Amino acid sequence: MDSRIAAAIHLALEPVALFWADEKPERAMEFAPGKWGCVMFLLAAAAKGKTAVASRETFGCWGGGVGLGFGDHYRNFPGGEESFCRFLSTGNAGSEAGRAIGHEMAASGATAMADEFLQGERYLKSPQVVAKFLAGLPIMDIPARYVVMKPLREVDLTRDNVRSITFLVNPDQLSALVVLANYEGEHNENVAIPFAAGCQAIGICTYRESEKANPRAVVGLVDLSARKNVRRQLGKDVMSFSVTAEMFRRMEGNVEGSFLERETWKGLAE
C-alpha cells in the first residue's frame, strides 16, 4: 500500500513493513547461515526497494537474533551472557577466560571485534547495569520461521502479519511524526526513545507495544554501532520511527486536515 504519511513528509526512502511468516519470499536478501551481518543492513535494503529476510539461522549477530524475536541469543555470545555484560560495558580484559577468547578472535583476523570484546563498547557503566538492561528487554521467541522486511507498498496490511512499520527520517520528518503520533492520543507521551539496539527498536520493542491498549511509536537508531554500520547506505542524519500496524492506520487517517497541510510544515519541507 502507498502511505499518505510518506507523501506528506516527502520521505526519501520507502517505509518498511516488518512481518512474520512461515514461508520465505523468493529472491529475498538474506545473510548466509552463521555469518555476521547487521540487521539494519536488511532494513536499509528494504527501504531501497528490496525484500530481506532473516531466520533463526540467518539473523546476522547475537543482538540481531534477540532484536528480531528469535529468543535469547546473548547466552550464545562468546563466553556467555556474563561475557556479553562485560562487552557492552567495561570489557573482558580483566577476565582470564575473556582474554583467551579475545586473543582467539584477534588471531582469527577479527581484530576490531577483539578490541571491543576486550576493552568494552562502554555503552553502559558496568556489567551490573547491563544485566539490568537485559532483564528489562522484552526478549521473546516469535511463533514464526521468518522475519521479512519489505517496502510498505508491496505489503497488504489486511493479509500479511505486519508487526512494525518503520520510517527512516531526518530531524524535521521525525518532528512531524512525533506531532502526528500525538495528534489523536489519550496523552502526550505517545512516542518512546528507549536505549536499545537498532534491531530491537524495529523489532521486539515495537512488538511489545502491540500488546498495549495504547501502543507508542518507537524511535531508533540511537544505537551508535548501528548508525556506523548503515551510515554509508542511509547517510548520517537518519533516525528510525517504528509503529505498530494499528498505530500506523490511525496516523494515516489523521494526515488529511492536520498540520501536514499547513504552511509551517510546508515551509520546513521545502
Confidence (pLDDT) at 28: 95
Confidence (pLDDT) at 14: 96
With 0-12 CB in 10 A as exposed, 13-18 as middle and 19+ as buried, what is 262? exposed
Nearest CA-CA partner of 157 in 148, 165, 169: 165
Q: Note the helical H segments in the chain.
A: 4-8, 39-47, 62-68, 80-87, 96-107, 111-119, 127-136, 171-181, 198-202, 204-209, 224-234, 245-253, 263-269
Nearest CA-CA partner of 56 in 34, 81, 36, 83: 34
* pLDDT(18) > 80: yes
* pLDDT(1) > 80: no
Neighbours of 108 (CB within 10 A): 10
**pTM of the entire predicted model:** 0.94
CA distances from 109 to 88, 90, 104, 112, 154 (A): 21, 22, 9, 9, 40
Q: What is the pLDDT of residues 220-231, one digit of tens each?
A: 999 999 999 999
Confidence (pLDDT) at 5: 97
Confidence (pLDDT) at 2: 86
Q: What is the pLDDT of residues 239-250, one digit of tens each?
A: 999 999 999 999
Q: What is the pLDDT of residues 165-206, one digit of tens each?
A: 999 999 999 999 999 999 997 899 999 999 999 999 999 999
**Domain positions in the chain:** 4-68+140-269, 74-136
Average pLDDT in the 75-103 region?
94
